[in-house]
Amino acid sequence: MSLHTTSASLYPPEGLAPPKDRRGHAVGDLGLPTGTQVFSADNHISLADDIFFERFPEELREKAPRVWYEEGAFQLGRKGKSFLPGDFSHVLMQYDPLVGSGSANIEARLDELAADGVSKELAFPNALLALLYYPDRDVRERAFRIYNEYIADLQERSGGRFYGVGLINWWDAAGTRRTLDELKSLGLKTFLMPLSAGKDLEGTPIDYGSTSMIPVWDAIEESGVPLAHHIGEAPLSAPCEVNSVAVGMMHNVAPFREMFGKYIFSGIIDRHPGLKIGWFEGGINWVPSAIQDAEHLLASFRHMLNRPVEHDVRHYWDNHMSASFIVDPLGLQMIEQIGIDHVMWSSDYPHNESSFGYSEKSIAAVVEALGPEDAVKAVSTNVSKFLGI
C-alpha cells in the first residue's frame, strides 16, 4: 500500500457531517476470509444512566457523582456542575446524539456497529475518565465498582458482542487485589490503567516504577488480567486560543513513551514478567521509533543506570505488549518491525476520529497492506487473544 496515494482516502471524506450524521453501510466481504468476525479493539461508550446516585447508599448519595444529558452530551459532575473540560464536552456533543453512543440502548448500538461491518467490540468509558483522580478515594472506588457492575450487565446482555473495560483501585495494593477480584468475578476481561498514577495522600506524585508500587504490580500480575492504557488523559500544558480541540488532540494522541520507558527502564516488567499490556488509540506507527530510541538510550546510558535492564528492548515489546490503530497506513508499512501478532484494528466508534461510516475502507486497507490471512489477526483474533476469550 502506498502511503501517499492511499492514506488520504481512508480519512473522513471532505464535507462529511459530524459523526452523529454518519451511517454504517459496509457491504460485501471486504476481502477477509469467509466467516471472519471483525472485532473493534477500541470503541467508547457514554454512561447514560444516573447509576451512582441510584446505587450509592442513601447516607452517601450527596457525595455521589451525577449523570445527566445537557446540550447534546452526557455529563458527569456534582450539583449541576460538570467535571468535564469545555472542549471535552463539545466533542461529546458531536457524537452522543448517536442512538448507540450511550449505554441506555445496547441493542441499537450493536445494530449500528453491525451496519458498519463490526461484529464485536471492546468499549472504553467516555466521561467517566473525569473520576480517575477524584479526590475522595472511597467515593472513587465505590463509583468504579458500580460502573463495573453496570458495564458487566451490558456485556452479559450482548451475547458476546460487547466487552466492557473496567476500572480498578491502582493506588494501594490491598485495594488493587480487592477490585481485581471483583472485576474478574463480573466477567470483565481488562481494565484501564491511567498513564499517570496521580498523587498520594500527601499530594506527592505516585511513580509507577518506584519500589513502593511493587505490591500493586504484584497484584496485577497475579490476577492474570491484561491491562489497558489509553490516550486522552493529559491536558494542554498552556492555554490555546485558536483551534484548541485539534491542538489538544495532537498533544493527546502520542502519550505512551513515558510509561513505555518505565516498563523497560524502571524494571516493572523485569519484576513482573507475567504482565500483558495493551496500548489503545495511539496508533502503531510510534512503536518502531520508541523501540529504536530505547535501544539507543540503553546503550548510551547503561553505565548510569541504578538498576540493570535484564533483556534487550525488543524482548519487552515482543513478549508483553500490543497496540491498537484506527487508520494508520504508516504503521502498516512498518508491520515487520512491529509484528503482526501485536496489532489490533479498531473503529473507535463513535468518536469524531473514528472510522464509523467508512470502516469498510479502513478494513479493506488493512487487507491490502497485510494480505487476508494476516488481516484476520489484525481485525479479529489478536484482540481476542489479548482479552483471553
Find the range with the poorest average confidence among 16-20, 131-135, 182-186. 16-20
Q: Which residue has the higher pLDDT, 292 or 251?
A: 292
- Within-domain flag for 54: yes
Euclidean distance between CA atoms 241 and 248, whole angstroms = 11
Query: Is 22 contained in some domain?
Result: no
Name the nearest CA neighbour of 43 among 105, 102, 104, 131.
102
Asked, for residue 1, whether it belongs to a domain, the answer is no
Q: Is it the case that residue 13 has pLDDT exceeding 70?
A: no
Per-residue model confidence as pLDDT tens digits over 252-300 = 777 899 999 999 999 999 999 999 999 999 999 999 999 999 999 999 9
pLDDT digits (tens, 9 = 90+) for 345-376: 999 999 888 899 889 989 999 999 999 999 99
* pLDDT tens for each residue of 136-145: 999 999 999 9
Is 13 contained in some domain?
A: no
Our separate counts of H helices and E strands in the chain read 17, 12
Give residue 198's domain range: 27-387
CA separation for the pair 122, 71 (Å, rounded): 27
Least confident span in 6-20, 196-210, 304-318? 6-20
pLDDT at 23: 77
**How far is 231 from 184, CA to CA, in rounded Å?**
24
Would you state the torsion angle of the CA atoms of residues 319, 186, 380, 14, taken in this order, to the nearest 10 degrees? -110
- From first CA to last CA, the distance across the chain in angstroms is 31
Structural domain contains residue 9: no
| Sheet containing 39-45, strands listed edge to edge, beginning at the edge strand earlier in sequence | 39-45, 120-125, 162-164
Ranked by mean pLDDT, the top range of 23-32, 70-79, 206-215 is 206-215
Number of domain units in the chain? 1
Residue 239 lies in a domain: yes
The phi, psi pair for 57, rounded to 5°, reads: -55, 150
Closest CA to 116 of 353, 350, 377: 350
pLDDT tens string 312-337: 999 999 999 999 999 999 999 999 99
> Does any domain span residue 12?
no
Residue 178 domain-assigned?
yes
pTM for the full predicted model: 0.93
Q: Return the pLDDT at 239.
A: 75
Matching residue, cell 458500580: 146
At 280, which CATH number?
Answer: 3.20.20.140
Tell me, what's the pLDDT at 2?
Answer: 43
